[in-house]
Structure 1
C-alpha cells in the first residue's frame, strides 16, 4: 500500500537506487526565501547582541577618563576578558561571521584602552 496522492507518487522517480523527488520552482523559491529570512534574523540578533555588549564598556572607559581613577577595575578580570574576546574573534573569523568579528574587534580595543587607563591612572595609595 502506497501513501500520498497520485501526483506525489508521480513526482517520485528512482535514479541509481535513490529516490528523487521533483520540486516545483515555487517550492524551491519558498525554501530559498525562508533560508534568507532566517539568515537575516540571525545576523540582526548577532549585531544587536554585539552592539549591546560592546556599548556596555563605553561608560566604564568614560568614567575612568573623567575621574582619572581606575582603582576599582580589576586588571586580572580585564585581561581574562580580553583573552576571551580574542578567542571569540578568532572563532568569528573561522566561521566567517561578520557580526562576531566586528564587535569583538571593537570590544577588544575598548578593553585594551581600559587596561591602558588602569595602568596609567592606578597609583598606589599615598600614606
Structure 2
C-alpha cells in the first residue's frame, strides 16, 4: 500500500484533511516563527521530516556547494554577527576582487545579506523572512 493510499484511508475516516496539506502548514509555521525550513523525504517505510535548529552547519553548507573559505566566512559570521570584505581578505588571503566574488556568491545563494555601503559595508546571516 502506498503512502497516498494510506493517506486516503486516514482522510476517509477523518484523521487528516488531505495528502500533503500538513507539509504546507509546517512550512508556513516555520516561516512564521523564523526557523529553518525542514527537509521532506518519502522513504520506503514512510515519510521523513527533518527539522533543523540551525541550517548553517558545516555539513549543510558543504551540500550547498560552498568552498572552504566561504564555510569559514559563514562560521565567522555565526560567531561574530558580521564580516567585512577586509576581515574576509585577512582570513583567506584573497584579493579585494576575490573576496567580493566569494561574498557575493554567498549573497546570491541566500546565505548572507549585504548591509551598508563603502567603509560601512558588511555581511550578516540571512534569516528566514529576510
If the length of structure 1 is used for normalisation, what is the TM-score? Answer: 0.26
Q: Hey, which of these two has a bigger chunk of helix by percent?
A: 1
Q: Hey, which of these two has a bigger chunk of strand by percent?
A: 2
If the length of structure 2 is used for normalisation, what is the TM-score? Answer: 0.25
**Structure with max Cα Rg:** 1
Higher relative contact order (CA 8 A, sep 6+): 1
